[in-house]
């Protein structure tokens, strides 16, 4: 049928190809996403094919979302948590020819952005991620299964970098020498994290783990935050995962694909908006240690991403999609420049944090 969808996928949810219209949507690089509109009443749903090369245990995603949804229904029933719709057989997912599919409710009058163009958008997005963390503050994160084990484990990422460095060619080493030196020089970030990691007041929380701007729905008229989406990576983690990834992706006007490093600058108004939005929801629940590590969270996530890009370059680009051979090296350069900018602006950034943490 159209768009290559098997009719059995639709049948699992009580539809046929004659009574729906299907459109490919989304800019995500992992799952395939479609907008399903019923005919003639035009009721809309989101249909997604889960990429099992990335999510090797798709059932863990379903189980995690069900546990969280059940908790929120009991405790905060008005929160619009985007829980998958059951199949006609009452299952959380449809398994068709070894593929895993799920259907999600469509949230009308909303928009997701690919690029931030106003600090207020950063505020609203950060507020939504902070709100979800606040609502799940008393949820037992230990019952969730990691959907991508080691996803934000900087120790693991440094080990992978070391392995890549020890097994790559001399030619690639030569091309990446300044970035290899930077990766080794910044290992203090990992050591610093380890000095905190076993503190009793540095708990595992329910974290989203992918807090880019496109994973928040905003009202399509007012741009007020509505809810968080793309919940495949919701699993146990440290608070620095969500806050740090927002810093890494919101603070610069250019993405990691920008090769003009002079453009990689920190936008202070966006940082202030991010901090205000996030802390307005979660501040009362952060521990002393977590408050100490607010700015560090940006360094942690940016360094980790730099390592991942650099490791992939040394491994001959086997993970990230590239358009030219040195793109992952350029991405690593970009992230090391962002890391430098975080240090360069440390005083101003920390002052903003201090003004909003009291």
Residue spans per domain, the chain:
2-106, 119-357
Q: Domain spanning 119-357: which CATH class is it, in words? A: alpha beta
CA dist., res. 303 & res. 213, Å (int): 20
pLDDT confidence of residue 1: 40
CB 94 within 8 A of CB 248: no
The CATH number corresponding to 2-106 among 3.20.20.70, 1.10.490.10, 3.30.200.20, 3.90.180.10 equals: 3.30.200.20
pLDDT confidence of residue 56: 87
Helix (H) or strand (E) holding 33: strand 32-38
CB 340 within 8 A of CB 279: no
pLDDT in tens, the chain (358 residues): 445 678 899 999 999 888 888 888 765 556 788 999 988 888 999 999 988 888 888 899 999 999 999 999 999 999 999 989 999 999 989 998 889 999 999 999 999 999 999 999 999 999 999 999 999 999 999 999 999 999 999 999 999 999 999 999 999 999 999 999 999 999 999 999 999 999 999 999 999 999 999 999 999 999 999 999 999 999 999 999 999 999 999 999 999 999 999 999 999 999 999 999 999 999 999 999 999 999 999 999 999 999 999 999 999 999 898 999 999 999 999 999 999 999 999 999 999 999 999 8
Q: How far is CA 271 from CA 114, 122, 357, in A?
A: 18, 8, 14
pLDDT confidence of residue 306: 98
pLDDT confidence of residue 28: 56
Tell me the whole-structure pTM to 2 decimals.
0.92
Q: Is 39 exposed, middle or buried (0-12, 13-18, 19+ CB in 10 A)?
A: exposed
Residue the block writes with tokens 């699992």: 12
pLDDT confidence of residue 51: 86
Q: Is 14 exposed, middle or buried (0-12, 13-18, 19+ CB in 10 A)?
A: exposed
Cis peptide bond prior to 40, omega within 30° of 0: yes
CB 302 within 8 A of CB 248: yes
Q: What is the DSSP string of 137-205?
A: TTS-GGGSPPSSTTTT-HHHHHHHHHHHHHHS-HHHHHHTHHHHHHHHHTTHHHHHHHHHHT-TTS--E
b/e 278-317 (16+ beta carbons within 10 angstroms → b) = bbbbbbeebeebbeebbbbbbbbbbbbbbbbbbbbbbbeb
CB 202 within 8 A of CB 238: yes
């Amino acid at each position: 049928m159209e768009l290559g969808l098997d009719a059995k996928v639709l049948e699992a949810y009580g539809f046929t190809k004659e009574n729906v219209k299907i459109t490919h949507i989304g800019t995500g690089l992992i799952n395939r996403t479609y907008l399903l509109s019923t005919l003639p009443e035009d009721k809309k749903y989101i249909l997604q094919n889960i990429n099992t090369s990335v999510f090797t245990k798709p059932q863990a995603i379903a189980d995690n979302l069900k546990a969280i949804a059940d908790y929120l229904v009991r405790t905060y029933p008005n929160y619009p948590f985007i829980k998958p719709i059951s199949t006609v057989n009452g299952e959380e997912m449809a398994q068709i020819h070894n593929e895993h599919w799920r259907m999600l409710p469509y949230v009308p009058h909303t928009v997701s952005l690919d690029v931030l163009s106003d600090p207020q958008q950063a505020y609203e997005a950060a507020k939504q991620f902070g709100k979800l963390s606040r609502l799940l503050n008393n949820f037992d994160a230990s019952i969730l299964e990691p959907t991508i084990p080691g996803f934000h484990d900087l120790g693991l990422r440094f080990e992978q970098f070391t392995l890549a460095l020890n097994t790559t060619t001399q030619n690639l080493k030569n091309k990446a020498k300044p970035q290899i030196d930077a990766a080794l020089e910044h290992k203090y970030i990992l050591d610093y994290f380890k000095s905190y990691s076993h503190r009793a007041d540095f708990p595992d929380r329910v974290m989203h783990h992918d807090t880019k701007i496109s994973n928040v729905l905003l009202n399509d008229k007012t741009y007020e935050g509505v809810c968080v989406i793309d919940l495949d990576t919701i699993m146990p983690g440290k608070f620095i995962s969500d806050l740090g990834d927002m810093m890494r992706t919101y603070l610069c006007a250019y993405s990691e694909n920008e090769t003009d490093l002079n453009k990689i600058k920190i936008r202070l108004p966006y940082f202030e908006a991010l901090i205000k939005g996030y802390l307005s929801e979660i501040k009362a629940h952060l521990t002393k240690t977590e408050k100490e590590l607010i700015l560090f969270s940006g360094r942690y996530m940016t360094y980790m991403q730099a390592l991942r890009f650099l490791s992939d370059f040394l491994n001959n680009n086997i993970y990230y999609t590239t358009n030219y051979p040195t793109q992952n090296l350029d991405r690593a350069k970009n992230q090391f420049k962002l890391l430098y900018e975080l240090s360069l602006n440390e005083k101003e950034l920390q002052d903003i944090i201090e003004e909003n943490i009291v």
